Structure 1
Amino acid sequence: MGNTLEPPQPSGSSELLLRWADRHGIDTAQRLAQAENFADAVAQAITPENTTDTYTKSWRVWERFCETQEFPLLEGSRGALVAFAAWMLREGQQDGTGYAPATAKTHLAATAVGLRQRGQAVSKDAFAEARTALDGLTVQLLKAGERRGRGKAVAADIDGLLLIARSCPPTLTGLRDKTLVLTGFNFASRASEPAGLLVGDVRLHPRGMVVSVLTGKTTYSVREAKIPYAQDPEVCPVRAWTAYRTQLASQADPKWSMPDAPAFVGIHRSGVVTGGMGPDAVTRAIKRISARAQVPIVWTGHSLRSGLATEGRKKGKDAVVISRQGGWAPNSREMLGYMRAADEWDDNAAAGLM
């Protein structure tokens, strides 16, 4: 394992340590405890940052709930979890308004994990009842005419890509923007994926380019997304990439053209490169770029990912081909949902009746 993770020493006696000592002796018990701590360190090291961030935010919500209700922090009882679900929908946000149901579900699940991590039992029945209560209360909100949350991100489409390509100025920032959208669309990117790309991850090919995408939420792998030249040069991601990288090489420090440099860089209004773009910067850029192009409904960071599946389906691509390009499982419910968005218009019982 090398020296990257140094297992901490066992901290005092515990019920588990005492049981091990009774079974195997104190020396073996200490080694087992050390292994437990090492396993915790490994788990922490391999947990994605966004997952850790979610757990941290959700635990703060739980802390606020316990403080306002005068509940013990480390007690995940059936009643406490059901009350937590109702409180989140009613007044859980810091401004006193309720959370969107999807956000409340995330906080509830992450809180259950947080309680278990802290050694507190959360039974499956208690958690299931809290989820059922949350779903039931959500239905009541809908019946009352209250809808929360942004809903599904609008899918990017070819017309929108054309508007964006035509609205990007021939500056370094404009070329970066155009390339970010066209490239991201063609490999069905999440916002985190362009942010993680390095220059060396993109290779030109006689038929287009190959993008090595580090993908996965918990289990990481690399998929080789092949992006061909587009028939319309105006929206060709390969030509856009070449123009962007050529201009960046001519204007910026040579270090930004090295293989280990970020593929997509932040650029100050003065034209100075400020560093690599993070996921939040990618999301903000896509919103800004689509708004500037006056796309009818402004895109979000997920629009490029859903757009490839939807547009691919419109062109008759099957699930296997779409899943391979976007890194979905062939039977992914998420991908099939995007494809269904196209089918619902083309294969529609009401279409052509009048």
Structure 2
Amino acid sequence: MSSIERREAPGALSKDRLSPEAQAALAAGRADSTRRAYREDREAYLAWCAARGEQPVPATQELLVEYAAHLTLTPRPRTGRPSAPSSIERTLSAISTMHAELELPRPETKGARLVIAGYKERLAKSKSPRARQQQAKAAVPSALRQMLAVLDRDTLIGKRDAAMMLLGYAGATRSSELVGLDLGDLVECEEGFMVQIYRVKMKAFTDTAVPYGKNPATCPVRALRALVTAMREAGRAEGPLFVRIDRHGRIAPPMMRHGKPIGDPSGRLTPDAASDVIERLADAASLQGRWRGHSLRRGFATAAVRGGATMIRTAKQGGWADNSTSLARYYEAGDPWEDNPVTGL
């Protein structure tokens, strides 16, 4: 892309004029997962253009229509199925922002979005599961109890997984927020724990109160205290709260690949590893559907609405922005049984 002529628009941000430090600081404004997805989307688009002998930028509307159609028909190596509609929409955003970063006019995507609309209808008529947005199931209290029941909480792994589940639920955390916690972010008090959580979308820390639960088996405070105590007994009084543990109870065992060490030396779990824990426990509990780290955040929001919590209090506890449309959707949907208009007719 370096050989592509850039057309600087008035007021455009020129990265060439920024120091490496400033460029890194600018890139940090976008979430890691988004940066990774955009990078993969762009690399795939550039490879497709190179194979066809097409000029990738500035992209014509016709080229984007062709590429969108290609994505609806071509199986992805990772899944063996064509991209989902939401993935193609993200790809268009990645290509569009790539133009903006090169100081080129954003391409016209209307035609490509018509392709996506037709693709959605085709999937819906064929009853394909991909016609629906694949959301993680909500880990409401009943599901949490089932997953916790399969844990051996006498082991260090069991203590870690129980604390991860219950704190992730009580704090309505994203996976990256949960694994980003350190032991020093917990302050125990008479009422429970005050936890300092970095909210990735707000790009700010929140002091989140985690109170005692009525049932000891599902109490996040007791679960956290059990984990912290066990970690200290194992010689860990600082550093990451949630770490990798092997079946022998060793904390942060070395990981090697091709003779080279991999993974965080401190043993901090990755967001994907935290999600895998939830998925594994849901499978062991014979729960159906897609279970990931976000299940805890969805479960909290769902239970808060059903319990009559106000949107303001729910947003504060879970680190949602005041004008969060995602949180508003939970309240607009309500409880499909309690708020069903058919009831009483």
Give me the TM-score of the superposition, normalised by structure 1. 0.82
Match in the other structure for 1:271: 249
| Counterpart among 311, 314, 333 of residue 306 in structure 2 | 314
Pair 1:99-2:77 in alignment: no
1:230, 1:236 within 8 Å by CA — same for their partners in 2? Answer: yes
Match in the other structure for 1:262: 240
Aligned residues: 321
2:194, 2:207 within 8 Å by CA — same for their partners in 1? Answer: yes
2:135, 2:290 within 8 Å by CA — same for their partners in 1? Answer: no
Counterpart amino acid of residue 115 in structure 2:
A
How many Å apart are 1:66 and its aligned residue?
A: 1.4
How many Å apart are 1:33 and its aligned residue?
A: 8.9
User: 5+ residue gaps in structure 2?
Assistant: 253-266
2:7, 2:104 within 8 Å by CA — same for their partners in 1? Answer: no
| Counterpart among 187, 191, 204 of residue 188 in structure 2 | 204
Pair 1:245-2:237 in alignment: no
2:177, 2:200 within 8 Å by CA — same for their partners in 1? Answer: no
1:77, 1:122 within 8 Å by CA — same for their partners in 2? Answer: no
Match in the other structure for 2:260: none
Query: What do residues 63-99 of structure 1 show as CA deviations (whole Å, max 9, x unaligned)?
Result: 2321443322333111111221121111162377410
Bigger helix share = 1
1:311, 1:342 within 8 Å by CA — same for their partners in 2? Answer: no
Indicate the SS of the match to 1:104: helix
> Highest relative contact order (Cα 8 Å, sep 6+), 1 or 2?
2
How many Å apart are 1:310 and its aligned residue?
A: 0.5
| Counterpart among 43, 47, 58 of residue 64 in structure 1 | 47
Indicate the SS of the match to 1:145: coil
| Counterpart among 139, 162, 171 of residue 178 in structure 1 | 162
Structure-1 separation of matches of 2:159 and 2:58: 54
How many Å apart are 1:45 and its aligned residue?
A: 4.8
How many Å apart are 1:147 and its aligned residue?
A: 3.6
Pair 1:139-2:117 in alignment: no
Indicate the SS of the match to 1:257: coil
Q: 1:168 to 1:79 in 2, by over 3 A?
A: same
How many Å apart are 1:257 and its aligned residue?
A: 1.5
Match in the other structure for 1:108: 92
How many Å apart are 1:336 and its aligned residue?
A: 2.3
| Counterpart among 64, 88, 92 of residue 81 in structure 1 | 64
Structure-2 separation of matches of 1:15 and 1:323: 42
Q: Cα RMSD (Å) of the superposition? A: 2.7
Structure-1 separation of matches of 2:134 and 2:7: 46
Query: What do residues 272-306 of structure 1 show as CA deviations (whole Å, max 9, x unaligned)?
Result: 11111110111101111222233344521211011
How many Å apart are 1:50 and its aligned residue?
A: 2.2
Counterpart amino acid of residue 271 in structure 1:
G
User: 5+ residue gaps in structure 1?
Assistant: 1-10, 20-31
Pair 1:193-2:177 in alignment: yes
Indicate the SS of the match to 1:316: coil
1:172, 1:271 within 8 Å by CA — same for their partners in 2? Answer: yes
How many Å apart are 1:150 and its aligned residue?
A: 6.1
2:6, 2:104 within 8 Å by CA — same for their partners in 1? Answer: no
Structure-2 separation of matches of 1:320 and 1:208: 22
Pair 1:305-2:297 in alignment: yes
Indicate the SS of the match to 1:266: coil
2:156, 2:230 within 8 Å by CA — same for their partners in 1? Answer: yes
Structure-1 separation of matches of 2:51 and 2:7: 34
Match in the other structure for 1:26: none
How many Å apart are 1:118 and its aligned residue?
A: 3.5
Percent sequence identity over matched residues? 29
Structure-1 separation of matches of 2:189 and 2:30: 35
- Stretch moving more, 342-351 or 305-314: 342-351
2:187, 2:194 within 8 Å by CA — same for their partners in 1? Answer: yes
Please tell me whether Structure 1 or Structure 2 has the larger radius of gyration of its CA atoms.
1
- Stretch moving more, 32-41 or 83-92: 32-41
Counterpart amino acid of residue 337 in structure 2:
W
Counterpart amino acid of residue 124 in structure 2:
L
Q: 1:338 to 1:150 in 2, by over 3 A?
A: same
Structure-2 separation of matches of 1:37 and 1:298: 43
Match in the other structure for 1:222: 205
